[in-house]
Every structure is written in C-alpha cells, then in structure tokens.
Amino acid sequence: MKYIDEYRDGRLAKDIARQISEEVRPDVNYHFMEFCGGHTHAISRYGLEDLLPDNVRMIHGPGCPVCVLPIGRLDAAIALAQRPEVTLCTYGDLMRVPGSNGSSLLKAKAAGADIRMVYSTLDALRIAEAEPHREVVFFAIGFETTTPPTALALRAAIEKGLENFSIYCNHVLTPAAIQTILASPEVAKLGTVKVDGFIGPAHVSTVIGTEPYDEFAENFRKPVVVAGFEPLDVIQAILMLVRQINEGRYVVENQYIRAVKPGGNRKAQAEVAEFFEQRESFEWRGLGDVPQGALRLREEYSHYDAEKRFGLVTPASKDNPACDCGAILRGVKRPTDCKLFGTACTPDTPMGSCMVSSEGACAAHWTYGRFREHAKTKEIERSVA
C-alpha cells in the first residue's frame, strides 16, 4: 500500500538511527516531546526508542483528546444521558473512560441510559432524523482534526431543519496546549520536564498547517518538526530535531510534506470558523485551565449547543488520587512510574483515561513497551550473571 509499506522499512530505520547516533553530541542530552498519541504508539509499536542513543529521550505529551478530557465534563455527559428524553451519541473510546466514583458512560448505558456508540457525526444525524421524538446529543471531542466533521454535521442539521439535534462541544486546540506546557507557571507548579523540541501532530496539521507553531519555535527557541505516524516519519523527525539543536536553529520544519501544507486546509478552517469560536479557557486533564484551549458554538448557533439547551453545569470533579494520568500527560512521569499500572489498572480494568484510549500512553506501553522492558531486564540480568 502506497505511503505505508515504504515508511515501515526496518533497514532504512536503522540507517537513520545510525545517522542520529553519529550526529548527536556526547556532551548534550536531547529531550523531545511527541505531542500526539499516534506518535507515542508508533514509537512503542516499532521499538524506536531502542534504536536511539542513550542521550536522546522521548517524552510523551498530552496529544490524546480522550485522555485530556477532564472528569467533570465526562460526569456532565453522564448526567445528561440519564435524562429520559436524551439520546447521547459518542465515539467508542469514550464509553469506558472512568468518571467520578467509578462511573462511566458504559455503566450508565447498562443502567438504562440511552447512550449509543457512533462512528461519525453523520450517524448521530441519522438517529436524530429517524427518532424526532428524542433529543439527540452528539458528544463532540477531539483536536482540530475532528472539528470540521462536527461543523459539517451542524450545517446539515440546519439544512434539514432538525430541531432535536445538539452538540456537547469538547473540541480542544493543540497550539494553546503547547503554549501552556512551555509558559504556564501553574503547570510548572504541578511538575514539568525539560523539553528541547517537539514532534508536531500530523493529522491536526493537515487542517491548521504548520504556521501556528512558528511563534513557539521563535519565542521559546524550541524547534518543531511536524511528522507523519509511520516509523520512518518519526525517526526522520528525530534526526531533523537533532540537527536543529546542533546547528542552533529553532524553526518549524515539515517532514509530513505528503499531507501537510504550511497554510493547512483553508476550506476546513473556514467551515470551523463559521460555527465555532474560542473559549476564554478550558480545563485539560494534567494541564489545568488552558487559556483559549478549546472551542464553543457561536451565539447565533446556541440552539444547537447542548450546554445551553439543557443548562449543563460542569461539576468540580477530581481525578483518582492514585492515578498518575495527569503527570503522564505532562511528560513528568512514564506509565510504569504509576503504581497502578499493570496491577489495578489494565485495559480490562482501566483506572484512568490513558489506559482506555487507543492513543493513550499507558495503553501504548501496555500493548508494546512492557514486553521490551522485560526483555531488557532479562538481558541485563544475563550480562551481570
């Protein structure tokens, strides 16, 4: 398959890794954050960290929209779904995310709430058309990648005259999160880790382009390389970051040229701007309140805003104190640093969102990383013996 097999060539990956090893400076430690959960999974799945020199460290970032959704917003969605007139439509990976007191959308559904898993916004629209007596609410989450489909669903609802359709909007914005990681004193108090450069999100950048990252590279002197999700994409991006650090350059580079343009997708951006505006602030799990960190519906479309239609109030819910999801999302801790990982918290019994989502760092490490670490431990034991 074009652009898949070509980017999974192990021989080429080793060649690039050899270049990295030759070009890193022995007196420099390189700390690079892969913002997107898709990159985290690629790194774990293909064992890319095993190919890197010891002084190149990859840090998992908060690039998982399911993971960063605060518990209060999930609790509000569960309460909304429990109303007898409401049908809540949501993506499958949200169903098992733990809310307060062990609750979840899946448990609420088992208790009788009308919660339906959908694969797209159009599925929710079809339900609203087929069941005009129900109040159909689409639980909208995601980064800039999934916002245009939500905008198109709203346009279709207006054109069809669907009065029983609304959006519970939880779309978040990646540039605001990067800004917060780099500059927020509140996040620093929670604990931060050294970051020398970023691997920028791929699918997000197909929509917003590379231009929004220019100010981070310039103002904070942190290089950004936007990269695809295949193993060769990621390891080439690491090489590009190493070269920028060595040369004292701090710019935005585009490794993902087959899909990303500097200006992004202007048509998608215009569609989003028609229906949405930035919130003053929005809570991200692990980062706290992020200024301009999310979107909401414009006032002229408030009829389709579930928060206003149903008078939703986000409760002040707290994370499980034993769960380290917040610290993992900031890159301060790795999944294995959490005392729940692999014991109380597994994919079958998730205690936090990082273990549920297919883009979560804990899920990635459970699926791939823990076996490599076990193999490394055995190798060390053999060498000592």
All domains of the chain in start order, with CATH: 1-322 (3.40.50.11740), 325-384 (no CATH)
Give SS3 for 25: coil
How many whole angstroms separate alpha carbon 336 and alpha carbon 171? Answer: 29
Q: How far apart are CA 235 and CA 233, in angstroms?
A: 6
Burial code (b: 16+ CB inside 10 Å, e: under 16) for 355-374 equals bbbebbbbbbbbebbeeeee
Indicate the DSSP class of residue 103. -
Which distant-in-sequence residues (6+ apart) come within 8 Å of 110 by Cβ?
none
Question: How many CB atoms sit inside 10 A of residue 9's CB?
Answer: 14
Interval 60-83: pLDDT, tens: 989 899 999 999 999 999 999 999
pLDDT value of residue 181: 86
Query: Do the beta carbons of residue 352 and residue 322 sit within 8 Å?
Result: no
Alpha carbons 222 and 128: distance in angstroms, whole number: 46
pLDDT of residue 189: 67
pLDDT given at position 378: 43
Question: What are the pLDDT digits (tens) for 162-202?
Answer: 999 999 999 999 999 988 888 877 766 666 788 999 999 99
Type of residue numbered 36: C
Per cent of the chain over pLDDT 90 is 78
Spans of the chain, pLDDT less than 50: 374-385
CA distance 287 to 186: 8
Question: Is 334 in a helix, a strand, or coil?
Answer: coil
Beta bridge mates, 33 = 59, 198
What is the per-residue pLDDT for 30? 97
DSSP 8-state secondary structure symbol assigned to residue 294: B
From the DSSP assignment, how many helices (H) and strands (E) are in the chain? 17, 13
Return the residue matching tokens 């490490």: 365
